[in-house]
Chain A
Amino acid sequence: MSERSTNLDFPATAIGRLGRGAFSATLSMQDFAFCDSMGLEPLDLVEGYCVMTKRAPLYSGRPLGVPAPYAARGTRLPSALDTAYTKTYRCPHRTFGLRGDHPAFGRNAEQVFLSTSWRRGFDLAYRRMVAQAQHAGAHGVIGIVDGQQPFGDLPATEFRIVGTAVRITDAPIPTGRPWTTYLAGQRLAKVIEMGFMPVSVVVQRTWIAVWASCMTAYLMEGANIRRGPYDESVLEAEQVSDARMAATRIATRRLKEQLGSDSLFGVTVETTEEELHSGNRLFGTALSGTRLRRFAKPSEVDAPTPVMWLR
């Protein structure tokens, strides 16, 4: 999570509730029983919210394949745009000298501004939840559930993140930020049995915008005709295929950058597609999961034996 400092205050009623009196938890009965057996004592339900405007500043961009050199950048600090993914697709009809509405080239470009603004919203909600857990004296937050939804009629998105703050019995009083995880109960127990400990939830969203070249627009708008050079058996919209793969590849790379030398298993993959206009599109990939740190060697497990039940 980024270290951008913003207002992390939470309601006065929450301050009164956290870490006092009876506990509250989002855990199911099974999860609660498992946590109890692991020595994790639920403290309170902790939550974070953030409502952010959603204006999509689509960046058409220039070729950004390499970082801009200092001479070209001037005194400006290097930005994420300098290394963002972009690829240009030339029109195959240049020799015909077509003019007018005919697009001379198409481009795929990573939407860094969208990713940054999404991350800012998620980060704020996350940091508010963590601040509540810290206030309650928790070692960690388990069973996290997050989500985003449009906020009323406004061009805004609401980020929500909820979890259960827990304290480890017999552990020293926590000093730093608590660890966080989507896992709870049996899954969390199994991860710890395997010698991994959750560090934090990690989320990465990447968008690739497709400004269609002439051929991509033809194919995606269903204008493909049987005559001339288009009478091939299969016509692929290469630009769109590339965008889909690039979104997943870049999201994975960025997620790995967040992980350091830790690991992420059971990653959740979510892909989105939004049609803009004239064959233009916005492809998104969201990856989320729990960053796990190895603290012990895994237990030896025998290879499974196929069993045939006689019933």
Chain B
Amino acid sequence: MSMIEHSPDDLRQRVLDGNHAVRHPDPHQSGSAVVSGLTTDELLLLHSIDWEPVELVSGACTVGFRIGTWSPFAAGNTSHPSGSLTEALARSVQRLERACLDVGAFGVVAVTTDLDIQERYASVQLTGTAVRPQRPGRRPEAAFSTNLSTKEFVVLQRGGWAPRSVAFGACFVRIRRRSFGDALSQMVRNVELANFTQALAAARADTMNKVRERGQGIGGGVVQVSISDGRLPFARHVVSFVACGTIIQPSPRELLQFNARMAVDLRDREPSFQATSLRGPRAHEPTKRSGISGSGSTWGMSIRTRLRSAMRPTNYEE
């Protein structure tokens, strides 16, 4: 854990120095202004790997849908709106990366997505902070973009990987109406609504395929994929799926590994005494553990589970 430590007196002196600097600005101070969406914590993290923020950049695209796209009586094909939205997301990423190169940066981190799907059109706006190394070498031909936070970007860099681009996939699925016979037969029985299951499964698969194809096109893997889905408020029979992730590749220059340091947490996570057992002889008995504490990736979870099973004390009640 990185820490900056100052005594309270140092901090007070810093406040006085800062106040003096504001009252009496240095006429020789030069440099260009930096507008960044990163917090001071993120700035420190970025500086720790010798990178710096440059400017706030954005990319946007708005596409129109055809007449009758959401009609409940139309055929089930939703390839046009799905293709339009996927293309809008891809163009936004391209524009974001181009804006990044225009300001002399190498890539964009902490990209946020503002997606607005309306009955007649869909709008996408991506915003992030352009960053570059503090000692930049040759200017890259293509900028990278990532929806990873600065912390995650730093960990990725330290691990010898580099983000390439944000990958998106989008799909709309129209839930077909059941036939009269199906509706009648399902009225009094608890059965699977197969048409719904199939439609949603196909749409999810299609969305993920688009993300995978994008990753395959660039030649990398996709991490931190998330799929958001929901019914469209203006067309309740249509469900939208949007998947987003970051394509990563091994960094050509830095062949590092994720050397995670092991740490044992010695803080008590269970109460030392249970109120119900204070009168009896079981007062100092450890309490039963339940589940895996904390959250994390599947990787982290499996590691923890394995370690726990190896280190499990015998007196625990399981």
A and B interact physically: yes
Question: Which residues of A approach B to under 8 Å, CB–CB?
Answer: 37-40, 139-140, 168-171, 175-176, 179, 187, 189-199, 218-226, 233-237, 240-241, 244-245, 248-249, 252, 255-256, 259-267, 269, 271, 273, 287, 289, 293-296, 298-299, 301-311
**A-B contacts besides A39-B16, A222-B120, A307-B260, 20 pairs, CB < 8 Å:** A139-B19, A192-B14, A193-B4, A219-B121, A224-B64, A226-B66, A236-B61, A236-B91, A237-B63, A240-B121, A240-B123, A248-B127, A256-B35, A265-B38, A265-B53, A267-B36, A287-B35, A307-B262, A308-B260, A310-B311
B37 with A252: CB separation less than 8 A: no
B264 with A224: CB separation less than 8 A: no
Q: Which of B36, B62, B116, B263 contacts A308 (CB 8 A)?
A: B263
A-side contacts of B146, CB under 8 Å: none
Chain B residues with a Cβ closer than 8 Å to the other chain, count: 89
Contact of B177 with A by CB under 8 A: no
Interface members, chain B 90-113 (any A CB < 8 Å): 91, 95, 99
Asked whether A222 and B67 contact (CB < 8 A) given A244-B123, A307-B260, the answer is: yes
Q: Which of B55, B56, B154 contacts A303 (CB 8 A)?
A: B154
B48 with A301: CB separation less than 8 A: yes
Question: In the docked arrangement, what's the CA distance between A17 and B169, Å?
Answer: 59
Our count of residue pairs bridging A and B at CB distance below 8 angstroms stands at 250
Question: In the docked arrangement, what's the CA distance between A171 and B37, Å?
Answer: 32
Nearest-neighbour CB distance to chain A for B266, whole angstroms, equals: 10
Q: Can you show 16 pairs from A to B with CB atoms below 8 A apart?
A: A179-B22, A190-B40, A219-B63, A220-B121, A222-B120, A224-B67, A234-B83, A244-B60, A245-B95, A265-B34, A287-B35, A295-B22, A301-B48, A304-B155, A306-B261, A311-B265
Interface members, chain B 210-263 (any A CB < 8 Å): 258-263
A-side contacts of B36, CB under 8 Å: 263-267
Task: Report the stretch among B186-194, B201-209, B300-308 that lies at the interface.
Answer: B300-308
Nearest-neighbour CB distance to chain B for A81, whole angstroms, equals: 24
B-side contacts of A289, CB under 8 Å: 35
A236 with B62: CB separation less than 8 A: yes
A-side contacts of B123, CB under 8 Å: 240, 244, 273
A-side contacts of B53, CB under 8 Å: 265
Question: In the docked arrangement, what's the CA distance between A14 and B40, Å?
Answer: 35
Q: Which of A197, A234, A295 contacts B63 (CB 8 A)?
A: A234
Nearest-neighbour CB distance to chain A for B103, whole angstroms, equals: 9
Q: Which of B40, B56, B121, B261 contacts A252 (CB 8 A)?
A: B56
Asked whether A38 and B11 contact (CB < 8 A) given A220-B120, A269-B37, A304-B2, the answer is: yes
A-side contacts of B185, CB under 8 Å: none
Q: Is the interface of B mostly helix, strand, loop or mixed?
A: mixed
B-side contacts of A37, CB under 8 Å: 8, 11
Mask, B277-307, CB within 8 Å of A = 1, is 0000000000000001110000010011001
Asked whether A222 and B65 contact (CB < 8 A) given A190-B41, A233-B80, A310-B264, the answer is: yes
B4 with A197: CB separation less than 8 A: no
Mask, B19-40, CB within 8 Å of A = 1, is 1111101000111111111111
Question: In the docked arrangement, what's the CA distance between A26 and B52, Å?
Answer: 33
B33 with A264: CB separation less than 8 A: yes
B-side contacts of A192, CB under 8 Å: 11, 14-15, 18
Considering only CB atoms, which chain B residue lies closest to A291 in the complex?
Answer: B33
Question: In the docked arrangement, what's the CA distance between A261 and B80, Å?
Answer: 48
B-side contacts of A223, CB under 8 Å: 67
Nearest-neighbour CB distance to chain B for A80, whole angstroms, equals: 20
Considering only CB atoms, which chain B residue lies closest to A242 in the complex?
Answer: B60
A-side contacts of B40, CB under 8 Å: 187, 190-191, 194, 196, 265-266
B43 with A265: CB separation less than 8 A: yes
B-side contacts of A311, CB under 8 Å: 265, 269, 292-294, 304, 308
B19 with A197: CB separation less than 8 A: yes
Contact of B117 with A by CB under 8 A: no
Question: In the docked arrangement, what's the CA distance between A223 and B304, Å?
Answer: 56
B-side contacts of A241, CB under 8 Å: 60-62, 91, 95
Asked whether A263 and B34 contact (CB < 8 A) given A233-B84, A241-B61, A310-B264, the answer is: yes
A-side contacts of B154, CB under 8 Å: 303-304
Question: In the docked arrangement, what's the CA distance between A1 and B6, Å?
Answer: 34
B33 with A262: CB separation less than 8 A: yes
Nearest-neighbour CB distance to chain A for B214, whole angstroms, equals: 16
A-side contacts of B30, CB under 8 Å: 261
The 6 nearest A-B residue pairs measured at CB: A219-B64, A197-B18, A222-B120, A295-B21, A259-B33, A244-B60
A235 with B64: CB separation less than 8 A: yes
Mask, B47-86, CB within 8 Å of A = 1, is 1110001011011111111110000000000001001100
Nearest-neighbour CB distance to chain B for A173, whole angstroms, equals: 11
Q: Which of A168, A240, A245, A256 contacts B19 (CB 8 A)?
A: A168
Interface centre among B1, B12, B114 (most CB of A within 10 A): B12
B19 with A269: CB separation less than 8 A: no
Contact of B143 with A by CB under 8 A: no
Contact of B158 with A by CB under 8 A: yes
Question: In the docked arrangement, what's the CA distance between A235 and B67, Å?
Answer: 13
Considering only CB atoms, which chain A residue lies closest to B95 in the complex?
Answer: A245
Considering only CB atoms, which chain B residue lies closest to A191 in the complex?
Answer: B40
Interface centre among B2, B8, B19, B84 (most CB of A within 10 A): B19
Nearest-neighbour CB distance to chain B for A243, whole angstroms, equals: 8
